[in-house]
Amino acid sequence: MDADGRDFWYREGRTPVVRHMADRSFTIRAWVGEDADSAEFEIYKVVAAAFFGEDAVDGPVPSYWQRYQSRVSPSAVDSLEEAERTFIGGVKATGCGDWDLKGDQGMDFHICRREQLEAISAVLCACQDWAPQLIPGWYGVRPERELPFLPEV
């Protein structure tokens, strides 16, 4: 258990792989399970550094995420360690997965437009499609699609 009360059992002794959605909506951190038979994901919502609107993301990759336990949105933080996990989940080598869609908020995810729902679907599907590349012992179905990530820098 971390000092702030969040449970990070899957992080112990592992280094995460970080990717950013091409539309700059979310950042994903992934850890391969201890037995290399699963991948655990943390998904973070990208926010603007200030109140300039949703499209105010500068640089080659997103640099700001919502601060954990902030009552103001956006409340930008430049460290994923201090950021709020929007969604948390994992995918097993079989292709089965479990997702916590309440994340660190502990409440249902609020949307105002259909496009937000599409973005949520896209990031969850990206994790599912990325899992076969992360898990050495993958024996589920391998998707035949390109991952919607920004190029690695």
pLDDT for the residue numbered 55? 46
Q: What is the mean pLDDT of residues 119-144?
A: 92
Q: What is the mean pLDDT of residues 39-66?
A: 75
Residue 132: asked if its preceding bond is cis (omega within 30°), the reply is: no
- Cβ atoms of 100 and 88 closer than 8 Å: yes
| Total-model pTM | 0.87
Q: What is the mean pLDDT of residues 98-107?
A: 86
pLDDT at 3 over 80: no
